[in-house]
Amino acid sequence: MRRLPLLVALFALALTPLLGAAQPAQQQLRVGVWDLPPSRGNPFGGRALPSTFLWDAIFDPLVRIDETGASAPALALEWSLVEPTRWRFKLRPGVSFHNGAAFDADAVVATIAWLASPAGRASPVGTETREIAAAERVDALTVDILTAQPDAILPNRLAMVAIVEPRAWAQGGPEGFAREPIGTGAFRLEAWTPGAAQLAAAPQSWRKPATLQKLRLVELPERPARLQALLSGQIDVAFGLSPDQIPELRAARQQVMATPAPQVMSLAFVTEGRDSPLRDRRVRLAMNHAVNRPAIAEALLAGLGRAASHGATATAFGYDPALKPIPYDPARAKALLAEAGHPRGFAMVAEVVVDAFPGDGDIYQQMAADLDAVGIKVELRQLRFPEWLRRFLNVTWEGQAFGLSWNTAPFMDSLRPYLSFSCLKRPAHWCDPEVMPLIEAAGREFDPVKRLALLHRLHAATQANPPALFLVEQVDVTGLAPRVEGFRFVNRTANYESARFR
């Protein structure tokens, strides 16, 4: 056996109490993530990484999004539009929750009813599904979902709604349920331990794991820690690695999954309710001209990512390949700053999470260096994800900007990010009333050709009056131990149940 370097060996020894024995039970998959969900087992606390690494194991939505970006069956087998504001869903028979309760139309009705309540509307998922008015039981395996306005992407939107066991939710409420979550997923929660979640295969699950018996998610905030835990045999899957770590992974004969991500990395501007240079459109355009996106994508994403032109990637409906990135032009940036009354630039604070997505720390540093070259002094303040989420939900940012991705998953529709980058977010950090008619029209247009044209107009208008500094189209880099096979990570959804060991 190859002798581990001293540093890696010491690291492995230090992590053993958290991760478990160096030689794990053959059928336990150990996964390294940068954070566990701040809301624990409450799946309505958001629909984004890293929280979904856990929720994907425990819960199911009615609809999933497949490799092509199309809606596909999950807890619902088929659906149809009955009238502009009513969709009918036929449910999968023979499904039960982890506690043995039957999954049926009543469970869907109860979940939607909570999301439509004042408390539900205040949750991140409730905010993104605010157009859903109610659900009505047709029969035990048929349910109608009603929307306040015509919603052309409702089936895709439902990919973010986990169906919870209604009695457990009613008895425990959000906080009690978060401690003991019950879903229909491939795994059930066994225990929370400091920095880890222990799960067991759910034998009654309709997507029962073929061979895995246990799943353990371990919180390792720093990317180097996740890499070293994988190299030392302490974990089997390391999420959120970086392209610059790929050579080390391959040298150590680890497996690498590197795929385009449905996410555009950006620096979001905070303009609502405060006096800031960023309230001036010329300043926001200047910042976009100041950053050399192609160089960042090539150098820091190893050419796997691309310079971003707008808030969508090619895998999402509505992406506009004809819309080119705002050109790198420092001279133009300086001229715009002078026109806006900042010939010497200004100082600002940007709050960011790092070690979450490939190269993010280095990308932010290079962005800050490019901005410094035109006179904008950026102080980068690092946050852990739970604190970032609290500030995002309440708009309590201390700085003038913060890291926020344009994430089209799980909808795989380029309208989704506008729920965060528009007046629709309440409270909003950015609001441009002029684009709201386009956002609303794109949500209600059922004709795909007309809808595509609306989304292209929306992206062009957003580039002309940017709510963010668009950076790069991101990539997902995941490291896998040699013994793992069959694991799938599609559209930011982890299919642990497909994994097995050689």
- Neighbouring CB atoms inside 10 A of 219's CB total 17
Residue of 348, 387, 388, 380 whose CA lies nearest to 361: 380
Do 382 and 450 fall within a single domain?
A: yes
Residue 118 located in a structural domain: yes
Query: Residue 21's pLDDT is what?
Result: 45
Do 220 and 297 fall within a single domain?
A: no
Sequence letter at residue 25:
A
- Distance between alpha carbon 153 and the CA centroid of its chain, in Å? 18
Do 204 and 297 fall within a single domain?
A: no
CATH code, domain carrying 68: 3.90.76.10
- Distance between alpha carbon 245 and the CA centroid of its chain, in Å? 22
Total domains present in the chain: 3
Domain stop point among 169, 202, 220: 169
Query: Residue 25's pLDDT is what?
Result: 56
Do 305 and 433 fall within a single domain?
A: yes
Domain stop point among 136, 169, 202: 169
* pLDDT band of 119, cuts 50, 70, 90: very high
The answer on pLDDT for 125 being more than 50 is yes
Do 435 and 348 fall within a single domain?
A: yes
184 neighbors 97 (Cβ within 8 angstroms):
yes
Do 269 and 240 fall within a single domain?
A: no
Preceding amide of 61 cis, omega within 30: no
List the beta bridge partners of residue 81: 87
198 neighbors 191 (Cβ within 8 angstroms):
yes
Residue 356 located in a structural domain: yes
| Structure-model confidence comparison of residues 403 and 273, the more confident one | 403
Do 493 and 348 fall within a single domain?
A: no
Query: Residue 5's pLDDT is what?
Result: 41
Do 338 and 360 fall within a single domain?
A: yes
Residue 178 located in a structural domain: no
For β-strands 28-33 and 237-241, DSSP reports them as: parallel
C-alpha 89/C-alpha 322 separation (Å) is 37
Q: What is the mean pLDDT of residues 125-135?
A: 93
Preceding amide of 174 cis, omega within 30: no
Mean pLDDT of the chain: 93
Residue 451 located in a structural domain: yes
The answer on pLDDT for 132 being more than 90 is yes
Residue 384 located in a structural domain: yes
pTM of the model: 0.87
Residue 218 located in a structural domain: yes
Q: What is the mean pLDDT of residues 324-337?
A: 98
Structure tokens at 331: 């001279």
Q: Which of 15-19, 308-312, 403-407, 432-436 has the lowest mean pLDDT?
A: 15-19
Query: Residue 107's pLDDT is what?
Result: 98
Residue 12 located in a structural domain: no
C-alpha 479/C-alpha 477 separation (Å) is 7
Do 214 and 359 fall within a single domain?
A: no
Domain of 42? 28-58+185-254+481-501
Structure tokens at 185: 């997923």
Structure tokens at 466: 């940017």
Do 140 and 43 fall within a single domain?
A: no
Query: Residue 411's pLDDT is what?
Result: 87
Do 352 and 468 fall within a single domain?
A: yes
Do 226 and 196 fall within a single domain?
A: yes
* pLDDT band of 20, cuts 50, 70, 90: low
Residue 201 located in a structural domain: yes
